Structure 1
Amino acid sequence: MIVGAYLTHNNLSAKMKPSIAAFVGSLDWTMLKYTPAVGVQPLLEPSDEDGRPQSQEPIQLFRTLLTELLEKWKKNNLVKKFPKKMIIFRDGVSDGEFTQVLESEFKAAKAAVEKLAGAPNQCKITYKVCVKK
């Protein structure tokens, strides 16, 4: 299974506007069909005197959105087999947030797999952060 994940933010001058988490995932082993999963990132408490919310890069809905994609995978496959391998491509992470994002989102990915597969090692997960330079 191939998964792409991104968190898009409004510009910094936008007060109290949430970020959007967008995922796309393959539906079967051929990796020719894909399906989306989208959610609104919960707003965090304002962190500056102008009332703008603080920026937090880890996707809070990572487990929920990945679970949605995994459920669609299982529904789309006639034999209802779980994917044996998953590659997650994550974009939009700065160097300073890399460790926090990796720990939070990789843990959420393992939890989503365990929830649906019933076993933590049912699916091998590769988590790749893509950086534009």
Structure 2
Amino acid sequence: MEFQRKVSVEWNKRLDKLVSGSQAIILRSLEEKGPQNASTLAKHLRITPGAVTSLSDKLITNGYAQRKRDSNDRRMILLEITEQGREILQLFKVEIKSVVQQFFSGLPDEDINHLIRIYQHVLMNISTKKEEKS
């Protein structure tokens, strides 16, 4: 429990100075899949469309995203990543890598490989559990 708390505090301290984790996920989704509406992003993030709107407003205020009308359906409003958003997302990715390297520095490769194997197994267990519930 203490380990998780300390990792979380350090993670947030280093990364939240750029954008929040949820904002980064939105930017990553926009970068990978192109412009999307709030409902699509909400489904992807497993949050409400209202929460997406709140996060989007912050991204727009900072110049990381913009709203635009869908060219096929002018009633539909899409969120689109800006060049500044791509730049901040790249900085976020670099910072994540730096944080992970800091957390695992000094560990022998063998231990790191064991951790990777353990995390992959736990993720598989979680995925299997989700599929059983569906």
TM-score, normalization by structure 2: 0.28
TM-score, normalization by structure 1: 0.28
More helix by share: 2
Q: Which one has a bigger Cα radius of gyration?
A: 2
More strand by share: 1
